[in-house]
Amino acid sequence: MVRNIMILCGPEGAAEFAARIAAEAGDDLGLINTRLDPKSVKASGCRIEEEREYGGHTMAAFDEPLEVGAAIAQLLGHADAVVVDRLDDWAGRLLARHDEEAAIESELTSVDSVLKAQLADIVLLVSPPDGRDDEVARLARRMVERFSALSDVVVDARGGSPRVQRGELAI
């Protein structure tokens, strides 16, 4: 069964938990790393070749701090599951790159499309910007609201044991 899963995590992330959930879908795992400065990313066409350890599992890593929907779509061509680490970092990168709301909306719509297609499990990690009200926090909250509506499962993994907020997941 294909699932979209959103994991609410703390600032330290939840790599082991996300990787374990992704591995339930199969052995071919993809990772979208949004946490890089766009200037440090390899040229297009070179970013998916590197296998990397993430949360105790080997994943085909795709370093993409801006065009996350397109990166997910590319990995979905072969992966059983794709982990996106992390939406809150992506929010900051989008705002630093785009001055126009239409460009940001286009990127969000791209992720909507791959979530709706349900071609493989997609695991989205986000550290909700609790207590902040800057532009990055507002966009991150918008992402959480928008993408959690398209998620079959929402898990709160902030502190302590993960708790399923919506859907079903064997934890």
d(CA 88, CA 65): 11
Q: Does residue 39 surpass a pLDDT of 90?
A: no
Give φ, ψ of 146 to 5 degrees.
-65, -50
Enumerate the domain spans of the chain: 4-166
pLDDT band at 105 (very low <50, low <70, confident <90, very high): very high
Strand order in the sheet with 4-8: 51-54, 57-63, 29-33, 81-85, 121-126, 4-8, 153-156, 163-166
> Can you tell me the mean pLDDT for 102-130?
96
Q: Does residue 134 surpass a pLDDT of 90?
A: yes
Residue 135: predicted pLDDT: 96
- The sign of the torsion formed by the CA atoms of 103, 78, 44, 128 equals positive
d(CA 160, CA 40): 34
Residue range 59-104, pLDDT digits in tens:
998 887 788 999 999 999 899 999 999 999 999 999 999 989 999 9
Q: Does residue 113 surpass a pLDDT of 70?
A: yes
pTM over 0.85: yes
CATH code for the part of the protein at 4-166 = 3.40.50.300
Report the chain's mean pLDDT, rounded to a whole number: 91
